[in-house]
Amino acid sequence: MRFLYCGDVVGRSGREAVENHLPDLRKKLDLDFVVVNGENAASGFGITEKICNGFYEAGADCIVLGNHSFDQREILGYIDSDARLIRPINYPEGTPGRGASAFRTRSGKSILIVQVMGRVFMDPLDDPFASIDKILKTGRLGQKYDFILVDIHGEATSEKMAMGHFCDGRVSCVVGSHSHVPTADAQILPGGTAYQTDAGMCGDYNSVIGMDKDEPVRRFIRKIPGGRFTPALGPGTVCAVYVETDDKTGLATTVAPVRIGARLQETLPLITGLEG
């Protein structure tokens, strides 16, 4: 199976980058399933139904969120109706939406997508490790599911790495989100799980983690706000993680970073047997 995870989409620049590049990436990499993190897609804070539909039309099969899941008020009336839209599973019981969803690919493969939020330097949600352990006990990789993704949305690299090792051998891929900076540690862990600490963002990298530079820099220098954070509007780069898995076990055989667009050095995985 060939899978792509696109990192946090920030504002219009990120949306346009994903919508422009994803259709071609889907064809070029012969992808079976695509997940997009859309939690910063609406002016840098949250997501809307219209934006979700734009990602689906571009080729996304599922959208995950994060700590900005509910920043847009309208999402409260929409999230329960869209099984393809996933917020962190360790939100308190009764929170709208769902933290995991199962899907079928066009070829009939079964996929489980789960998102969890870390607690180090983040909101004090329920225990992320217990939450993941509970959902993984409902169906095993290679038996009930052909592919399982765990997206850990968190600040601390140590917590993300710990989640990777906690899930090793039980899921196809653990990928981190939230920091908006792609890490250079894509690897297959000893138990066969693909891992990257952070996929990075889809947005304008001539920025401070996707935001126009002036206000963040001012706050670091003066220690007082001078205005609102607004997304940078320059050309966007898509940052993503590509994973191939063994059809029998669901474990990873390949993991590679993807960067395509404006500023960062472009990189695409070499896919044997495909032209173009």
Residue 4: burial class (beta carbons within 10 Å; 0-12, 13-18, 19+): buried
CA distance 144 to 2: 18
What is the per-residue pLDDT for 195?
Answer: 98
Question: Quick check: 153 and 67 in contact, CB under 8 A?
Answer: yes
Predicted confidence at residue 271, as pLDDT, reads 73
Would you say 173 and 195 are in contact if contact means Cβ atoms under 8 Å apart? yes
Cα separation, 41 vs 14, in Å, equals: 7
Mean pLDDT in runs of 10 for the chain (276 residues)?
A: 98 97 96 98 97 98 97 95 98 96 96 98 95 98 98 98 98 98 98 98 97 95 91 96 97 97 91 54
Q: Comparing C-alpha atoms, which of 164, 228, 177, 148 is closest to residue 9? A: 177
Instruction: Give the CA angle between residues 210, 8, 31 to the nearest 5°.
Output: 135
Query: Which one from 68, 153, 178, 180 is the annotated catalytic residue?
Result: 68
Per residue in 133-172, pLDDT (tens digit) is 999 999 999 999 999 999 999 999 999 999 999 999 999 9
* Homologous superfamily of 2-204+232-261: Metallo-dependent phosphatases (3.60.21.10)
Tokens encoding 19: 């919508």
Q: Considering the entire predicted model, what is its pTM?
A: 0.95
Q: What's the rounded Cα separation, in Å, for the pair 99 and 87?
A: 5
Amino acid 276: pLDDT: 43
Instruction: Confirm whether 68 is a catalytic residue.
Output: yes
Pairwise CA distance, residues 23 & 208, whole Å: 28
What are the two backbone dihedrals, phi and then psi, of residue 11, each rounded to the nearest 5 degrees? Answer: 65, -165
- Per-residue CA distances from 173 to 68, 102, 106, 197 (Å): 23, 15, 20, 11
3-state secondary structure labels for all residues of 17-50: HHHHHHHHHHHHCCCCEEEEECCECCCCCCCCHH
The rounded mean pLDDT for the chain is 96
Please identify which residue in the block is written with the tokens 């890490």: 183
Nearest-angstrom CA–CA distance, 205 and 72: 24
pLDDT of residue 273: 53
List the chain domain ranges.
2-204+232-261
Kindly state the helix (H) or strand (E) to which residue 116 belongs, with its residue range: strand 110-117
